[in-house]
C-alpha cells in the first residue's frame, strides 16, 4: 500500500476473508505469511497465518498440519498464543490467532540490558509452563527463539508458533525427528548432528539458552563462523558470568548438557529449588472447543460450502489506525543498533516526509551497489541479493505506507535468507537513506546508522 507522491490518497484494494479484514504483513516464511487482521463485526484485532495449499500438498503435509492444528486449537494455556479458528479458500488455509501487542520479550534486554535473576526466573517459569504443557499433548515447538517469545499488554509471556514453526518435519519409525531447523545459536547439538532427536529434549536445550540470555544479556554460544559456533555447541563450551547465583549456574549447566540422555528433564526441572522460587501455577481457562472448522478447512470432498471467499474492497490508500497501533513498537525512535547480534529481528521501519516516489528511488539507489536486484510495483519493492548466504539468497520486501498527509512509514522486512545477514544489510544501506529519514526536532542522532531504523516487534514465523 502507498499513496501517490503528493501524499493524496488514491483508491486501492483491501482484502477480506470471511468476517476478517486483512492488513499489513507481520512476517513470512517458507510455507506461510502472517497478516494483521481485524474482525469487522467486533473490531477485535487478530493475526492470521496464511498457508499456501499448493506448497502444503507438494510437501505431502496435509495430514500432519491437520493433526497439529487440531491439537493446538484444543490448547488453552495462558502462556501460549491462542488459536481461534481455521478457514480455507480454494487456494489458501487461514489460521486465526491471538494478536499480542506487548512486543517481544527480548526487547526488554535490548532496551534495559540483562534482567535481574528474579525477573528472568518469572519469564523462564512461564516459558517452561507453556512448553511442558504442549509437550504433554504431543506438540513440540522445535524452533524456540527470541521472535517466538512475545508479551501481552499485562507483561505475560506468550509463546507463538507451537506446532506450526517446523511443519515439514516428520517423525520416523525410530520415534525421532530428523529435520535440522531453528536458529543456530538456540539449537541443541543433537539437532545439528541430524541423527534424530527427541523434540522435548531439544526444546529444553533452547529454553536453557533463552534463560542464559535473559540473565546475561548475551548468548552462551556465539561465533561469526558457523562451524566454530557448532563446535562450541557440540562441546557446550560456555561460561556463566560471575553475577549468576551458584544455583542458577548449576541448573543452566544441567540444561545445556550436550548429551541429551544426561540432560535434565522437564519433570526434574520443575522440582528444582531455583526454579520453584516464587513459582505461580498457571490459571487455566476451561472451554468447549469444536474442531468442526478444522475438518471443514481440510475437507477434500470438494464441498464448496466449506470454503471462504477472499474478496477485494475499494478503499483509500492509507494505513488504518488499527494497523498503525500494531506497529507502535517499531515506531519508537529510542533504540538503534543497540541489540546484541544474536537478538536481531527480521524487520525494520522508519518514517519519512519525502514524497513516496523519492523514497522508493533512494532505496533503489542505496541497494543496487550492494548487489541487490530491485523489482518495483505500486510502492512495493522486492530486493533480491545476488550472493548465496547461510540460508540461501537474502530477500527483502519493502513497502511504503501513508500514515498521514505527507508522512510515510517505510518498512523493510526479511522475506528470505539469514536474519544476521539482514542486520548487516540495513546497517550498510542506512548511510544512503539519511536524506529521506524524518528526525523529530530536538532529537540528535549520535549513533552510526539510520535514525528511526529500528527492528519491529510483531507475531511472526
- Annotated binding residues for ATP, written as ranges, equal 49
Residues recognised as catalytic: 143
Name residue, grid cell 474492497: 313
What sign results for the dihedral spanned by CA atoms 268, 115, 103, 336?
negative
Instruction: Please tell me whether residue 72 adopts helix, strand or coil conformation.
Output: helix
What sign results for the dihedral spanned by CA atoms 329, 333, 339, 344?
positive
Closest CA to 75 of 378, 232, 291: 291
Q: Report the C-alpha dihedral over residues 191, 196, 200, 205, rounded to 10 degrees.
A: -30
Residue 151 to residue 157: CA distance in whole angstroms: 5
Triad 228, 423, 357: Cα angle to 5°: 155
Binding residues: 49
- Strand 149-151 to 380-389 pairing: unpaired
DSSP letter for 80, please: B
CA distances from 425 to 176, 307, 345, 395 (A): 37, 41, 13, 10
Residue 365 to residue 368: CA distance in whole angstroms: 6
Instruction: Please tell me whether residue 45 adopts helix, strand or coil conformation.
Output: strand
Report how far Cα 378 is from the mean position of its chain's Cα atoms.
26
Closest CA to 122 of 146, 155, 144: 155
Identify the H or E element spanning 2: none
Half-sphere exposure (Cβ direction) of 180: Cα atoms closer than 13 Å: 12
Neighbours of 311 (CB within 10 A): 11
* Contact indicator for 306, 297 with CB cutoff of 8 Å: yes
Amino acid at each position: 500500500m502507498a499513496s501517490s507522491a503528493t501524499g493524496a490518497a488514491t483508491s486501492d484494494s483491501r482484502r477480506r476473508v470471511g468476517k476478517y479484514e486483512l492488513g499489513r504483513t507481520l512476517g513470512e516464511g517458507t510455507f506461510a505469511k502472517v497478516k494483521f487482521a481485524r474482525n469487522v463485526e467486533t473490531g477485535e484485532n487478530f493475526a492470521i497465518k496464511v498457508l499456501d495449499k499448493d506448497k502444503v500438498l507438494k510437501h505431502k503435509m496435509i495430514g500432519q498440519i491437520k493433526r497439529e492444528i487440531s491439537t493446538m486449537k484444543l490448547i488453552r494455556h495462558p502462556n501460549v498464543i491462542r488459536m481461534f479458528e481455521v478457514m480455507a479458500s480454494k487456494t489458501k488455509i487461514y489460521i486465526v490467532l491471538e494478536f499480542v501487542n506487548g512486543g517481544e520479550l527480548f526487547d526488554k534486554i535490548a532496551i534495559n540490558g540483562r534482567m535481574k535473576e528474579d525477573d528472568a526466573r518469572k519469564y523462564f517459569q512461564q516459558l517452561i509452563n507453556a512448553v511442558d504443557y504442549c509437550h504433554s499433548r504431543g506438540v513440540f515447538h522445535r524452533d524456540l527463539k527470541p521472535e517466538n517469545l512475545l508479551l501481552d499488554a499485562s507483561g505475560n509471556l506468550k509463546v507463538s508458533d507451537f506446532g506450526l514453526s517446523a511443519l515439514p518435519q516428520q517423525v520416523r519409525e525410530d520415534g525421532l525427528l530428523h529435520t535440522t531447523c531453528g536458529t543456530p545459536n538456540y539449537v541443541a547439538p543433537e539437532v545439528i548432528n541430524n541423527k534424530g532427536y527427541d523434540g522435548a529434549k531439544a526444546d529444553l536445550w533452547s529454553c536453557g539458552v533463552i534463560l542464559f540470555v535473559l540473565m546475561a544479556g548475551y548468548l552462551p554460544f556465539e561465533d561469526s563462523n558457523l562451524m566454530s559456533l557448532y563446535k562450541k555447541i557440540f562441546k557446550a563450551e560456555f561460561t556463566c558470568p560471575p553475577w549468576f547465583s551458584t544455583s542458577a549456574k548449576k541448573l543452566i549447566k544441567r540444561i545445556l548438557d550436550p548429551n541429551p540422555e544426561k540432560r535434565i528433564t522437564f519433570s526434574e526441572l520443575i522440582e528444582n529449588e531455583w526454579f520453584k522460587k516464587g513459582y505461580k501455577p498457571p490459571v487455566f481457562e476451561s472451554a468447549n472447543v469444536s474442531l468442526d472448522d478444522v475438518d471443514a478447512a481440510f475437507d477434500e470432498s470438494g464441498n464448496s460450502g466449506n470454503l471462504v471467499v477472499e474478496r477485494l474492497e475499494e478503499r483509500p490508500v492509507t494505513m488504518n489506525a488499527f494497523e498503525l497501533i500494531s506497529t507502535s513498537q517499531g515506531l519508537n525512535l529510542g533504540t538503534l543498533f543497540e541489540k546484541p547480534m544474536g537478538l536481531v529481528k527480521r524487520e525494520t521501519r522508519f518514517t519519512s516526509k519525502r514524497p513516496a516516489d523519492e523514497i522508493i528511488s533512494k532505496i533503489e539507489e542505496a541497494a543496487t551497489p550492494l548487489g541487490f536486484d530491485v523489482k518495483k510495483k505500486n510502492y512495493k519493492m522486492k530486493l533480491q541479493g545476488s550472493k548465496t548466504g547461510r540460508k540461501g539468497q537474502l530477500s527483502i520486501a519493502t513497502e511504503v505506507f501513508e500514515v498521514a498527509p505527507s508522512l510515510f512509514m517505510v518498512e523493510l522486512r526479511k522475506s528470505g535468507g539469514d536474519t544476521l545477514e539482514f542486520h548487516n544489510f540495513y546497517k550498510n544501506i542506512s548511510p544512503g537513506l539519511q536524506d529521506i529519514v524524518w528526525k523529530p526536532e530536538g532529537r540528535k542522532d549520535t549513533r552510526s546508522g539510520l535514525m528511526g531504523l529500528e527492528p519491529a516487534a510483531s507475531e511472526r514465523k
